Amino acid sequence: MKASIVLVVLGTSGLFSCAKDNPEKALTLENSTVLFGSYYDECGGEQCIEIYKLDTVTQSLSEDTKDDYPTSASPYDGTYVARTTAEFDAVKDLVQQIPLTLLAKEGVVIGQPDAGDWGGYYLEVQNGEERRYWLIDTKKENLPAYLHSFTDVLRARLNQLQ
């Protein structure tokens, strides 16, 4: 029994060492910029689209002022203004909450974001030249289980910034 546990631990440690051998192929959360927010199409006012930029290198938070509706065609292109250090401190842990399973996920759309006017979440991770983004449903029943707790945290952090 103990021998099989050791083999499993040794075997899985090899899975994680690949990223160190080929860092340009691995998207990581360390020293990254994370864009996150929510959007609603059938909505009126400035609160309909809220996208933020969390930079772990400069330890800063900015808010997008363009408020364009995110699409699956390309990553979000915003214009950002700085937010306070206190607001950065309130959301800086969001980076550690992103499930690593998501980083390996193929495709951009997860669930049916904003399909029934219930909105969607936007998430993007930029690390060096690597840039991945996702449009995520706000309804848990449309999401894989690995995203449930993350979307709870994301919703809470967005509420803190309003």
pLDDT tens digits, residue range 108-119? 999 999 988 889
Q: Which residue has the higher pLDDT, 31 or 84?
A: 84
Domains by residue range for the chain, with CATH:
24-161 (3.30.1560)
Q: Which residue has the higher pLDDT, 22 or 115?
A: 115
Confidence of residue 156 (pLDDT cuts 50, 70, 90): very high
Residue 40's Cβ-side half-sphere holds a number of Cα atoms within 13 Å equal to 12
In sequence order, the 6+-apart residues with CB closer than 8 A to the CB of 33 are 53, 54, 55, 56, 57, 125, 126, 127
Percent of the chain with pLDDT over 70: 81
6 pLDDT above the threshold of 80 = no
149 with 83: CB under 8 angstroms? no
The model carries a pTM of 0.81
| Mean pLDDT, rounded, for 113-135 | 92
| Mean pLDDT, rounded, for 70-96 | 95
Distance from C-alpha of 71 to C-alpha of 134, rounded to nearest angstrom: 9
Distance from C-alpha of 156 to C-alpha of 5, rounded to nearest angstrom: 38
What is the predicted pLDDT for the residue at 26?
A: 52
What is the predicted pLDDT for the residue at 125?
A: 95
17 pLDDT above the threshold of 50 = no
Distance from C-alpha of 14 to C-alpha of 16, rounded to nearest angstrom: 5
What is the predicted pLDDT for the residue at 150?
A: 97
Distance from C-alpha of 6 to C-alpha of 157, rounded to nearest angstrom: 39
Confidence of residue 45 (pLDDT cuts 50, 70, 90): low
128 pLDDT above the threshold of 80 = yes
What is the chain's mean pLDDT, rounded?
84
Nearest to 103 by CA among 73, 123, 83: 123
Residue reference for tokens 């364009």: 68
122 with 39: CB under 8 angstroms? yes
